Amino acid sequence: MTQVSNLSASVARLASQSRLYRTLAFQEGQGGGTAMKFLQDTGSAWLPKILISRSKAEGAEASLLEFGESAMTYALPTFLGPGLANLFFKFGAYRRPFDKAFNKKLLTETYEVLSKASDQKAAAQAMVTKAAVILSTIGGIGLWGESLVNYGKNLMTAKVFKKDKFSDVINLTPGKIQPQSGYGQEDSPQVKKAKNRIKQVSVGFAGLLGGAFLLARFGHRSEGVKKISGQVVKHLDFSFAQNAQKKVTYGLGNRKGLLGAMMLTCAIPYLDSARDGYERLETALRLPVVFAYILYGQELIQKGMVKYFPHLFKEALDAQGKVMSTRQIAETALMRAAKDSQNLTPEMEAVAAPHIRRGLMAKSLTVVVPLASGIVFTGLGLGLLNRFLTNYRFKQQSLTGSGGNPQPRPSLVPFSGPPLNTFGLPFSGVAADPSLATGSYPLGGLNRGSFAGGFGNSGFYPAQPATRGGVAFGKDAGAKRSYPG
């Protein structure tokens, strides 16, 4: 096609007149990509949790957790990355007169540029310093930050709602922290664990920063450290772009890089902060699905839409069948309207306008549909599935207990489980809590009794009679039994 001299001016005029164009153009940029990930995460995690929350406590937890971690994951790296880079550059690597070739601009260069640089000494210093920044960011956000949010959520619920078990939070059980019952909020095992973990990860993050400082300062002296640092930078680096003020900004990188590494790392505090088996199972089911959707969902859904509904995206696809950028859609339509002319006239722009509008609407579908799919399937669908499975598991466990109480799994640890039978094994279906130990056994099964007694949570259990289906028989049929409380 003929080169059009005023093409850029026409595109700029279009951008000033079309809000849809500006929105899509922002979404394509580095800041917009981060905003899109935030919307995907919020849409697939927070909104459905609020819509189907089982209590006010669960809704409050969802709000604190999702917005807190989204702020850390999608906003903090853009500040933490350059902040750590400045810190390690000023007080770490750049300290000696002969390091003048190592300037801060090298910290925003990619692995490919640094590996081919003419001054490999300066490039090596930049490589280890970049690795220090990357590892500190992953540890700071994925472990320390996520632990603060997840355990902070547990502390908030215990303080505000007086609940320290997930089954209480979702109203499966009516439990509540009672300070007068012998151990108060401060002594609750879940609260103790939360406070201890926050202290542990804080100390660990301080140690990580110290190690990163040493890496930035001395890492270039070791060939092995330089190679490892090079691989860290190659696969986990930030993405870099210039803003309107020509200042380099830090982004999250691609899904296989920094963002993916942070998501995998944050799974550790997510699972570790679970307060009981119900919460742990819900988390274990939700995390991989949500992570996969955030990392791959938009791209896979977009490809499927283009493949099976190509007629909807005709104005938005290039010659290879790929969705064009916002600017490419406008330029393609304008150049087609210009034909062999070297200047675009208002009439030509008017001819191109409907094609541009259809192209932009088609492109917007590739953004809106994946987001809506995340809300409906990944969010609401997965949330309702988790809710159903948790209720089902609770009811199944209740069948093996007494009075509708959920039945903990027996423990083989001495002094921590239910009474033992003749063979030194815990009874099947007997609760660890002595108050539940007199319940009937499931399916009317035979329990031979514990003629030698045993030890449990509250001390020594006396010998128990043999029962069938919860009914004593034989010489013990008329015996009256009681258990220490």
d(CA 134, CA 84): 9
Residue 42 domain flag: no
Contact 328, 318 (CB under 8 A): yes
CA–CA distances in Å: residue 69 to residues 50, 116, 145, 272: 16, 37, 8, 16
Stated as kind and residue range, the H or E segment containing 472 is strand 471-472
Residue at a domain's end among 275, 308, 338: 275
d(CA 401, CA 399): 6
Strands 459-461 and 454-456: antiparallel
Residue 40 domain flag: no
- pLDDT score of 127: 93
Contact 55, 157 (CB under 8 A): no
d(CA 365, CA 459): 65
Residue 401 domain flag: no
Phi and psi for 413 in degrees, rounded to 5?
-75, 130
**Closest by CA position to 284, among listed 298, 272, 295, 294:** 272
Residue 350 domain flag: no
Residue 81 domain flag: yes
- pLDDT score of 30: 58
Number of domains in the chain: 2
Residue 290 domain flag: no
3-state secondary structure of 418: coil
Q: At what angle do helices 258-272 and 277-292 cross, to 10 degrees?
A: 170
Kindly report the pTM of this predicted structure.
Answer: 0.72
Tokens of 18: 């079309």
Secondary structure letter of residue 468 according to DSSP: E
Residue 2 domain flag: no
Tokens of 290: 């949500």
**Closest by CA position to 383, among listed 129, 54, 12:** 54
Give Rg (Cα) of the chain: 31
Amino acid letter for position 453: G
Residue at a domain's end among 223, 249, 275: 275
**Closest by CA position to 193, among listed 154, 243, 149:** 154
The strand pairing partners of 420, in sequence order, are: 426
Roughly how many angstroms between the first and final C-alpha of the chain, as a whole number?
Answer: 89
What number of residues does the chain have?
485
Residue 322 domain flag: no
- pLDDT score of 18: 85
Q: What is the pLDDT of residues 212-267, one digit of tens each?
A: 999 988 898 899 999 999 999 999 998 887 665 667 778 776 656 888 898 899 99
pLDDT, one tens digit for every residue, the chain (485 residues): 556 667 888 888 887 788 888 888 877 765 556 677 777 777 777 888 898 999 999 999 999 998 888 888 777 877 888 888 888 887 765 555 445 566 788 888 889 999 998 888 888 888 999 999 999 999 999 899 999 999 999 999 999 999 989 999 999 988 877 664 444 445 688 899 999 999 999 999 999 999 999 998 889 889 999 999 999 999 999 888 766 566 777 877 665 688 889 889 999 999 999 999 999 999 999 999 988 888 888 889 989 999 999 888 988 988 888 889 888 998 888 888 888 777 788 888 888 889 999 999 999 998 889 888 888 988 899 999 999 999 999 999 888 754 444 444 433 333 334 444 444 444 444 444 443 443 333 333 333 343 334 444 334 344 444 444 444 444 444 443 333 33
- pLDDT score of 371: 85
Residue at a domain's end among 221, 251, 275: 275
Q: Which domain range does residue 213 map to?
A: 53-275
Strands (E) in 287-370, as ranges, are none
Tokens of 119: 């001054």
Q: At what angle do helices 30-41 and 19-28 cross, to 10 degrees?
A: 90
Contact 36, 19 (CB under 8 A): no
